[in-house]
Structure 1
Amino acid sequence: MKTNFYKLILKANRVRYGKNLSIIGLPVIFKQEKAQLQIGDNCTIKSGFLSNLVGLYQRTIIVARETGKITIGNNVGMSGATIYARDKITIGDYTNIGGNVKILDNDFHPLDPEARKIDDKALIKKKEIVIGSNVFIGVNSIILKGTKLGDNCVVGAGSVVSGVFPANVIVAGNPAKVIRNL
């Protein structure tokens, strides 16, 4: 599907995007009525199976639910990523999001077994994610609710990231920890 046609779909869904948005393949980009979703200038969203030879498992999915807010900075690239907000996700300028990365600011279901039976969305834990500028998130990583990554961080492939990390570090592992300074 051509980028210009997809941009019409974004406008119809009241998704704001900047100049030179490049869409390769067919992503799923959606926001609910009270949610906000903004994509900056010069961003690239890859969803085609062969658009990134790292081996994409899925199309890119960007969803802002309920009153969630997603702000994606300028010059951001992503491939087959999932970005899902019920609270708030901020991604800084010049950040690269590797293939199949998941960025999730909520638990999707209540943790309490009895609360799951009644499926009360108000009981779902959620917490803002802030990803700084010029961050590189390696393939198949998961960024969990409440995470803060400082500018220039590198997240090692396959990491599960939860917590606050300063600028200029490499974090890796499950759970991710600082493995060295840059």
Structure 2
Amino acid sequence: MGTLKKLIFKLYSYYLLKKSPLKYARRIGVNVGDKTRLIGINSGTFGSEPFLIHIGSNVTITKRVQFLTHDGSVDVFRHRDKNIEYFGDINIGNNVFVGFGSIILPNTKIEDDVIVGAGSLVRGVLKKGGVYAGVPVKRICNIEEFHQKNIQQFTYIRNKSKKQKEQILIEKFKK
């Protein structure tokens, strides 16, 4: 690829990153389903092997989530094998929420209907219908228990104006 083509590709990718994160992710090789939201992603979000990442439909990936499809710790073995590498894919099912600042490590599978809490370090298999959080990630409860436990905190203001939301929340949290 010529220098001008590389520059155009970079500029267009940057434009997509800001205007349409979903199109950007697909353009760099991430397999992404429908109705998926990628909030506040940056150019490093999907690591150096985005083609190893599969994200289902109706998934929300929040800000500062990182996907790591390789593990550089094998550098300590390079004196024995200069060509050693460690890669793993990442598969996220449908109807999944990944919280702020989580890190998804190689060889991770997140099944359908899962909530991953903010700041979690995720590796392995997260079973369907669970709520997980922590470093390392642990199962906290199932999504129905989470719903029941938090039902008093839920508000139903998604389609309200910014001003209406503010008024409702101020009233709700008045001390």
TM range (shorter): 0.5 to 0.7
Provide the C-alpha distance between the structure 1 equivalents of 2:80 and 2:37, rounded to a whole number of angstroms: 39
Query: Of the two, which has the highest radius of gyration?
Result: 2
Provide the C-alpha distance between the structure 1 equivalents of 2:96 and 2:52, rounded to a whole number of angstroms: 18
Q: CA RMSD in A?
A: 3.3
What residue is the counterpart of 1:45 in the other structure?
21
Q: Does 1:91 align with 2:55?
A: yes
- Write 1 or 2 for the structure with the bigger share of strand: 1
Q: CA offsets per residue over residues 132-168 of structure 1, 9 Å max, x none? A: 0110000000010011111110000000000101111
Q: Does 1:167 align with 2:131?
A: no
- Alignment TM-score, normalising by the size of structure 2: 0.62
Provide the C-alpha distance between the structure 2 equivalents of 1:103 and 1:116, rounded to a whole number of angstroms: 28
Q: How does 1:49-88 map to 2 (within 5 A)?
A: 70-81=30-41, 82-84=45-47, 85=49, 88=52
Q: Does 1:144 align with 2:105?
A: yes
What residue is the counterpart of 1:115 in the other structure?
78
Residue 147 of structure 1 aligns to a residue in which SS? strand
Q: Structure 2: which amino acid aligns with 1:142?
A: I
Q: CA deviation at 1:63?
A: 8.6
- Number of residue-to-residue matches in the alignment: 129
Q: Structure 1: which amino acid aligns with 2:18?
A: G
Q: How does 1:16-35 map to 2 (within 5 A)?
A: 23=16, 25=18
Runs of 4+ in 1 over 3 A off after TM superposition: 60-64, 116-120
Structure 2 residue runs of 5 or longer lacking an equivalent are 1-7, 144-175
Residue 80 of structure 1 aligns to a residue in which SS? coil
- Write 1 or 2 for the structure with the bigger share of helix: 2
Identity %: 30
